[in-house]
Amino acid sequence: MILKYNQYLSEKVVYDLLLESKVVYSKKLVNLLTRMKSNKLASELLDLYSTDVDGLVQNYIDITDEKDSVSFTPDRKVQELTKDKPQTWEVTESGKYLTNSSRNDKIFERLGYDKEKYGCWAPETGTIGTILGETVSRQSGNIYIMFQEYGTTTPRIGVINKVAVEEAEDTEDFKIWSTSRNPIKIGRLVRAILTKAKVVFTDKDIEDFTNTYKATYDFAKDALKQFDIIQGKKIAYWYQKDNYVKGGGTLNNSCMADVETDEYFDIYCYNPQVSLVILYSDDGKIDGEKYTSDKIKGRAILWDATINGKSGKFMDRVYTRFDSDVDLFKQFAEKNGWWYKKSQSMEPSESITNGSESASNPEIVVQLKDGNHDYYPYCDTMCYLDSNSDTITNRESGDRMLRDTGGGFDDM
């Protein structure tokens, strides 16, 4: 049967077509399965990512707008779209390669990569290459690829995180994810894959997986659920750069990302009037109704304050790995009725808003439990401290200005 563009296939036909070769997931689906990896069938599916399984089609499975369904493009259509055109990729971020550490041996084994032969090559930014194989880390959800240099007589080969590459301009891969997409129920797809892979499961396992998948899908649709608000010594923990999503952005480039001692943050940790709003990374997991991760991609100090004489909460300058996540912080603040800076600058007098009203050059005051400490963080907005009255504000007053990146302060 030859599939035509946008031809609708009945679920029975789709099911039959599915049973032909290899399985490939979109990054969105990988992220979703990673979040539910405590479910045993989700873990099995992650282990089967991009592996040859007799009877399965190379299908490019992706999530859809329907939470109980996924879609795929059959292998024959993939071959048609990519005929005579090698799919090439460009390295956009260096340093994402796997070393010859024994910790990486399982990934090397799944990819069929000989680290002694190829020497764990580390491609530089701008290198063009092809992907010889892919596998997904069951623990992190990261997709690792065997990357071969393109256009050279003796191409080098390395293993790198797929986030470090982007499709080269001449690639046709985007068409695979948008052309001749065929729907199938998630439960039926999982049953087909696991049956052909000879993975033992029960009907109850499929039912549990489907219910968890739909619940996780709903959770993932609401990005605001990735936020958390923490207090105490956890604030210092989440200021540590090792706990950030790696890369750039204001988060990784913050002057407080790599300080000498956690004592810099004592004014935050030992005052209940101060909290930290954190945005967990996308590769976290869901435990009941709680989303967690071991990395964050954004943070902002939250103050219990008086704002122009009225009690309220003020979310200070937002630091993120990705600029687009600043809007998520603003949405989260508005949802909770907090004030936040209109522009994420270091200026104490920056205009603020809560989504429904604005204030220019506001007066923000926080009554602390204890303002006297040996060290202090660099403060963007609330940088004027009165150590006698234990108040901190954005208006020039008091006896200490907290704008020293070395943990000290300037006398006023």
Domain ranges of the chain: 1-84+176-221, 86-171, 223-411
Residue 336 pLDDT level (bands cut at 50, 70, 90): very high
What tokens does 209 get? 């997986």
What residues does 228 pair with on adjacent strands?
278
| Better-scored residue on pLDDT, 38 or 161 | 161
Per-residue confidence (pLDDT) for residue 260, from 0 to 100: 81
172-176, 355-359, 368-372, 385-389: least confidently modelled range: 172-176
Per-residue confidence (pLDDT) for residue 121, from 0 to 100: 94
Output the CA torsion sign for 315, 317, 378, 411.
negative
Per-residue confidence (pLDDT) for residue 169, from 0 to 100: 56
pLDDT digits (tens, 9 = 90+) for 297-335: 999 999 999 999 999 999 999 999 988 789 889 989 999
Q: Check whether 253 has a pLDDT greater than 50.
A: yes
What tokens does 30 get? 């990988």
DSSP 235-286: HHHHHSGGGBPSS-HHHHT-TTTT-S-GGGGHHHHT-TTEEEEEEE-TT-EE
Mean residue pLDDT across the chain: 87
State pTM to two decimals: 0.62
Across 256-288, b (16+ Cβ under 10 Å) vs e yields bbebeeebbbbbbbbbebbbbbbbbbbbbbbee
Across 93-106, b (16+ Cβ under 10 Å) vs e yields eeebbbeeeeebee
Domain 86-171 of CATH type 3.40.50:
no
What tokens does 284 get? 């976290």
Give the total residue count for the chain: 412
Q: Check whether 261 has a pLDDT greater than 70.
A: yes
pLDDT digits (tens, 9 = 90+) for 131-188: 999 999 877 788 999 999 987 888 999 999 998 888 775 444 556 777 778 899 999 9
Q: Check whether 200 has a pLDDT greater than 90.
A: yes
| Better-scored residue on pLDDT, 146 or 78 | 146
Q: Name, of 54-63, 138-147, 370-379, the range with top average pLDDT.
A: 370-379
Please report the beta strands in 150-226, taking only residues with DSSP state E, as ranges in sequence order. Answer: 157-161, 165-167, 182-185
Residue 301 backbone dihedrals phi, psi, to 5 degrees? -70, 140
Per-residue confidence (pLDDT) for residue 285, from 0 to 100: 84
| Better-scored residue on pLDDT, 184 or 268 | 268
Q: What CA–CA distance (Å, rounded) separates 179 from 6? A: 7
84-88, 155-159, 280-284, 300-304: least confidently modelled range: 84-88
